[in-house]
Amino acid sequence: MVESSKRRGHQILIFTDLDVTLLDEHTYDFSPALPALKLIHSLKIPLILVSSKTRAEIEIWRERLSLDSPFITENGGGIFFPATFTLPQDCPYEKVNGFDALLIGRPIKEVLEKSSRLKEDFDFKGFSEMPPEEVAAITGLTLEEAILASRREFDEPVVLKNALDDGEIFCRKASDLGLDCMHGGRFFHLSVGSDKGRAVEVLLSIYRKLWGPSFSVALGDSPNDIAMLKAVDRAILMQGKDGTYVEGLDHPDLIRAEGSGPKAWNRVVLSILSA
């Protein structure tokens, strides 16, 4: 139980996906989750955003959610720490736009060079090929938000344009070219070395080194969240937007939450923290 972890002096850490998990699928609203968010703030529990979104996007969401914890971008491409976070002396970080960053994935330039070879067999279009107006149209983001979503550093979201193309074959071909390929709910994501699970494990090891034992919880709904959910002590699997649960998650402490989005997120987080 989380309560017994608190009594043992363990630091509680919460990792969460954003879209269809903390944020509403259509409106990106998080207000139904405010009671749980306020409790998290009052207990001084680090809430760590782990998303396919870019650093530029997550910076905005951190402000909206009043967060000062580290965050993980683009499906585990990078871990970013605010300047107020004191990293261990042996941590090989880089300075990136005011953050101390641990770069897990390879740069987007390398990803795009490899993915261009997939064009020989598949008709697809990535964010790097779309004007912001097109990104906004297919995501429901505002134009300003779409511009931020286009600032990719590690991960290229792509749309298969031919309905006859098989996603599994696409990912297998991508793997043959040295690319990581996963389905994130709306898009296929291409990267090299990016991994939500690895990023979470690295961040957990840093927290343990700084503050001792921890009890980690993660919430997610998509195939690209499985690695993150496997890396923590308690996994919360949210229902997808079609009402089903993603397959392939084997975890000794798994909760299948009813529903998706901020209402379900609020309910399950309050339940866990009050247990």
* Residues assigned a catalytic role: 17
Burial class (CB in 10 A: 0-12, 13-18, 19+), 159: middle
Structural contact between residues 189 and 224, judged by C-beta atoms closer than 8 angstroms: yes
Token reading at 92 = 């090989």
Strand arrangement, sheet containing 99-103: 71-73, 78-81, 99-103, 94-96
Helix H, strand E, coil C: the string for the chain is CHHHHHHCCCEEEEEECCECCCECCCCCCCHHHHHHHHHHHHCCCCEEEECCCCHHHHHHHHHHCCCCCCEEECCCCEEEECCCCCCCCCCCCEEECCEEEEECCCCHHHHHHHHHHHHHCCCEEEHHHCCHHHHHHHHCCCHHHHHHHCCCCCCEEEEECCCCCCHHHHHHHHHHCCCEEEECCCCEEEECCCCHHHHHHHHHHHHHHHHCCEEEEEEECCHHHHHHHHCCCEEEECCCCCCCCCCCCCCCCEEECCCCHHHHHHHHHHHHHHC
